[in-house]
Amino acid sequence: MRRSLSVIVPVYNEDSRYIDVIKKACKIAKVELIIVDDGSVYPVKGSTIRWSMNKGVGSAVKAGIRKAKTTHVAVIDADAQYDVVDLFEMWNCMDEEDQLIGRRVSHQGMFKRFWGRMFLKTVASILALRYIPDLNTGVRIMKRKVALAYDSVICDTFSYCSSYTLVFLLDGYHVNWVDIGFYPRQGSKSTVSELRHGLIALHQIIYLAIALRTRRFRKWLRGK
């Protein structure tokens, strides 16, 4: 089957100007664009899926993956921290990977957030038995069929990106990273709380590692 791509953009009160940039890039590249409006105050023009209330960015991404009909799905945030050109360069160089992730080569934001990311990345690397260059970047391309298989265990909130990275690695799929730019956020202010969302992400990382590492053992116990 010839490979094809859908670009999923979860949106919650983002600046429409950057959404327009993504729309134009997808039109030029002739790929499907799925905009999931996660309960924005003002409806996003041209959104594919629109919710009246905020369900969480993870829920938005999963809904976009279910909606897509292509072999691969890409995710990119709509806050201008990532360049959509980098996403299409990733797509052009993607080979046999089951997931290709953008590795941020510069730091934005407060240092406590940086150290929080480092801590979570270290924990995840230990549990996955592999060094993870970037755990929770907002740019990635995945084989849709594989991503769909984990729909029920992926977090509905901020840590969805960490979850996709970890489940692919834990189950032995081919995951790789490429360097991308990382820029100051534009539009709405981030709703991420370093402590609360950090604890949610840590819980999700540990939960997934235990669930997937003990899956065969639990299946054996049920058969006893």
**In the chain, what are the domains?**
5-223 (3.90.550.10)
- Token pair for 109: 């934001």
Distances (CA, A) of 188 to 93, 106, 184: 32, 21, 12
Q: 134 versus 221: which is more confidently predicted?
A: 134
73: which 2 tokens? 């799905």
Q: Is the pLDDT of residue 219 over 60?
A: yes
DSSP classification of residue 43: P
State how far the Cα of 60 lies from the Cα of 165, in Å rounded to an integer: 17
pLDDT tens per residue across span 59-105: 999 999 999 999 999 999 998 899 999 999 999 999 999 999 999 98
Would the pTM count as exceeding 0.85? Answer: yes
**Number of C-beta neighbours around residue 108 at 10 A:** 12
The residue-averaged pLDDT of 29-47 equals 95
The pLDDT > 70 percentage for the chain reads 89
Structural contact between residues 10 and 49, judged by C-beta atoms closer than 8 angstroms: no
List pLDDT tens digits, range 105-161. 876 655 566 778 889 999 999 999 999 999 999 999 999 999 999 999 998 988 899
Element counts in the chain: helices (H) and strands (E): 8, 7
